[in-house]
Each structure stands twice: as structure tokens, then as C-alpha cells.
């Protein structure tokens, strides 16, 4: 079992914490502690840390802003590698934007707007990191990362760093090659188009208005809990199954949008998971449709 001291001896400049509460790093606001929690500032530190974990048979997992994960109440008995502010450079070059994985997608969308670059309007309300957005092929209102990602720098599980084109990322609905091959997204270049700042700003305001009208953004959640099943809408299936407002512990099917499971009142991750399982079972019994979680589980429940 690796200790903080052992890691600090090998990688002296790495920010690393012990028993870090994961509720502070997830948009659900739930989850137990990570035994070790690291904030690498560059690809070398990620590789060194990964190598150290492997040689010590230590479990590790990667997160960005924690807006699409559910961490178990018993936490994570290993090293959480979080790509955040330490790894968040953003550079605009003509009509393209380069960003490191830890950069905020909302921040990148705002930078694009200020530079009069169009293409990231869809992302202005998606509260994750660039790395998480590429990994998930995040999307909204008809746009998705697939449309704008030109190249991605990834680290493979053997530590090799390579650059892939957008096509080589095998993007699909909430899917990317990084999931298939356990790649770490290090950075990406996005191809945008010159546009008019006022029009971009108006489009973003409109999308934010629609979000505020339709989604329970005043409660902690991870956005849409389930993937959209082909030919259906998860929220409608859940509402038709009579589950609007249904609660387990502090977790509730949002009354505003049934596609969202929210942390209504001091929910635990166990409450959220039990509610998700109940929804899946009920919807399957009533409609024969198997809902698949979009939110990814992490750690010990």
C-alpha cells in the first residue's frame, strides 16, 4: 500500500493529500474519502504517479471536475488522480483553441465567446473539465465534442503519449475510444469558426435560459443520470413509470426533469445508487427498456 510520504519522496513537487473527502470533488456532493488524492501539474507527473501505482499494485482512478461520477460512501481505497486547475492551460490560436485536460469546459466556452469564436455554444452550461468532456463526448442542444475536436493528446495505460485525430477518437453518443482503451486525455485542440461575439453570446444566453427552465440546476446532481435510449427519452420513460418525485433517503427523481436524480436533502451515494437501480428496474418492468447509467460509479459502495 503506497503512502503519501513514499509518493512525495519520488515525486517531490506533486500536490497530494490523504483521506480527501470526495463529496468536495463531486457535483452530487456525496462520497467517502480517497485514501490518496493527487493533483498533477503535468504529463510527467501523471506518468510517474501511474508507474509508481503499478509497481506497488496500488489502485488508481482518474477524475476531472467530478460532474459525472458517483463515488461510493466508503470512498476509494487507492489514489485518485484529479486533473484540475494545476493542468488547465488554455490558448487561442486563430480559429482554434488548445486546452489542457483540467481546464473548465465552461471557461473554454467563455474564452471562445470573448474571442468571437463559434462552435462551443452548446458547451456553455456543461460543468466538467475538458478531459471529462472529451472522454464522455459531452454534448447538448445538438452539439457535441465530436463536432469540434481536431486532435487529442492521450496517455495510454503503458505511459506512451500519442496524438489522435478526432476520427481516431471513435466518438459516439457519450462514448470515446478513451473508454475502450483506458486512455488519459492530456489535452485537445478544438477547431472553431470565426463568428460574431454578440450572436455567440445571445445563443449561449438562450441555451442557459432553456437549461434553467427545464433542469433542476438548483440541486446537486450529475446532469442526466441515464443515457438516452434509442427511440426514447429517459426522462419521459421515468415520468410515465410514475416515478416523478420518487425518493429514497435524500435522493429524489427531480420533479422538474425526471431524467435527473438529484441530491435533494443530504443524500448518501447509497441512496442515489438505490434510487437509480429502482428506476432501472421499474422502467424495465413497465416498458421493456433497459436504462443505462450515464453517470459513472467509482470506489466502494
Ligand X SMILES: Cc1cc2nc3c(=O)[nH]c(=O)nc-3n(C[C@H](O)[C@H](O)[C@H](O)COP(=O)(O)OP(=O)(O)OC[C@H]3O[C@@H](n4cnc5c(N)ncnc54)[C@H](O)[C@@H]3O)c2cc1C
Of positions 33, 97, 217, 275, contacts ligand X by CB under 6 A: 217
* Binding of ligand X by 133 (CB under 6 A): yes
- Residue 255's φ and ψ, nearest 5 degrees, are -75, -20
Contacts of 6 (CB under 8 A, 6+ apart): 52, 56
Identify the active-site residue in 224, 254, 268, 269: 224
Closest by Cα among 135, 131, 110, 112 to 65: 131
Closest separation in Å from C-beta 31 to ligand X:
11
Indicate if 56 belongs to the active site: no
Nearer to ligand X, 116 or 159 (CB): 159
Rounded to 5°, angle at Cα 94 from 89 and 96: 55
Judge whether 81 and 129 are in contact, CB under 8 Å.
Answer: no
Q: Which range in 191-199, 216-224, 270-278, 282-290 contacts ligand X by CB under 6 A?
A: 216-224
Count Cβ atoms within 10 A of the Cβ of residue 200 and give its class: 0-12 exposed, 13-18 middle, 19 or more buried.
buried
Judge whether 63 and 82 are in contact, CB under 8 Å.
Answer: yes
* Binding of ligand X by 119 (CB under 6 A): no
* Binding of ligand X by 293 (CB under 6 A): no
**How far is Cα 135 from Cα 108, in angstroms, rounded to an integer?**
16
Q: Which range in 15-23, 67-75, 162-170, 281-289 contacts ligand X by CB under 6 A?
A: 67-75
Judge whether 280 and 229 are in contact, CB under 8 Å.
Answer: no
Of positions 139, 166, 195, 259, contacts ligand X by CB under 6 A: 139
Of positions 88, 108, 169, 184, contacts ligand X by CB under 6 A: 184
* Binding of ligand X by 276 (CB under 6 A): no
Closest separation in Å from C-beta 178 to ligand X:
5
Q: Which range in 72-80, 217-225, 236-244, 279-287 contacts ligand X by CB under 6 A?
A: 217-225
* Binding of ligand X by 259 (CB under 6 A): no
Closest separation in Å from C-beta 288 to ligand X:
26
Q: Which ranges of the chain would DSSP assign to H, the alpha helix?
A: 4-10, 43-55, 105-114, 130-136, 145-148, 177-180, 197-214, 234-240, 269-287
Pattern 6-45, ligand X, x by CB under 6 A: ---------------------x------------------
**How far is Cα 216 from Cα 47, in angstroms, rounded to an integer?**
39
**How far is Cα 69 from Cα 189, in angstroms, rounded to an integer?**
25
Q: Which range in 2-10, 62-70, 200-208, 280-288 contacts ligand X by CB under 6 A?
A: 62-70
Closest separation in Å from C-beta 158 to ligand X:
15
CB atoms within 10 A of CB 209: 10
Q: Within 13 Å and on the Cβ side, how many CA atoms surround 262?
A: 20
Interface with ligand X by CB under 6 A: which residues?
27, 62-69, 83, 101, 126-129, 131-133, 135-136, 138-140, 178, 184-185, 217, 221-223, 296
Catalytic residues: 174, 224, 294
Amino acid at each position: 500500500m503506497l503512502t503519501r510520504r513514499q509518493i512525495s519522496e519520488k515525486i517531490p513537487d506533486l500536490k497530494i493529500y490523504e483521506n480527501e473527502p470526495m463529496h468536495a470533488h463531486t457535483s452530487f456532493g456525496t462520497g467517502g474519502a480517497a485514501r490518496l488524492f493527487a493533483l498533477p501539474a503535468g504529463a510527467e507527473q501523471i506518468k510517474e504517479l501511474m508507474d509508481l501505482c503499478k509497481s506497488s499494485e496500488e489502485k488508481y482512478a482518474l477524475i476531472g471536475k467530478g460532474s459525472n461520477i458517483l463515488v461510493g460512501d466508503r470512498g476509494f481505497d487507492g489514489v485518485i488522480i484529479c486533473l484540475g486547475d494545476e493542468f488547465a492551460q488554455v490558448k487561442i490560436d486563430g480559429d482554434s483553441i488548445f486546452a489542457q485536460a483540467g481546464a473548465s469546459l465552461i471557461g473554454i466556452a467563455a474564452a471562445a465567446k470573448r474571442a468571437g469564436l463559434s462552435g462551443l455554444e452548446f458547451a456553455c452550461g456543461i460543468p466538467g473539465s475538458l478531459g471529462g468532456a472529451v472522454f464522455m463526448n459531452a454534448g447538448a442542444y445538438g452539439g457535441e465534442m465530436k463536432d469540434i475536436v481536431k486532435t487529442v493528446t492521450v496517455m495510454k495505460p503503458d505511459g506512451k503519449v500519442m496524438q489522435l485525430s478526432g476520427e481516431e477518437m471513435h466518438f459516439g453518443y457519450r462514448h470515446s475510444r478513451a473508454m475502450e482503451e483506458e486512455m488519459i486525455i492530456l489535452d485537445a485542440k478544438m477547431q472553431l469558426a470565426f463568428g460574431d461575439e454578440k450572436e455567440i453570446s445571445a445563443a449561449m444566453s438562450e441555451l442557459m435560459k432553456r437549461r434553467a427552465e427545464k433542469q433542476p440546476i438548483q440541486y446537486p446532481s450529475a446532469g442526466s443520470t441515464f443515457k438516452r435510449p434509442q427511440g426514447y427519452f429517459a426522462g419521459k420513460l421515468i415520468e410515465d413509470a410514475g416515478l416523478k418525485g420518487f425518493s429514497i433517503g435524500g435522493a429524489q427523481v427531480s420533479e422538474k426533469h425526471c431524467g435527473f436524480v438529484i441530491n435533494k436533502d443530504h443524500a448518501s451515494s447509497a441512496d442515489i445508487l438505490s434510487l437509480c437501480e429502482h428506476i432501472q428496474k421499474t422502467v424495465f418492468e413497465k416498458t421493456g427498456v433497459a436504462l443505462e447509467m450515464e453517470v459513472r460509479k467509482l470506489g466502494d459502495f
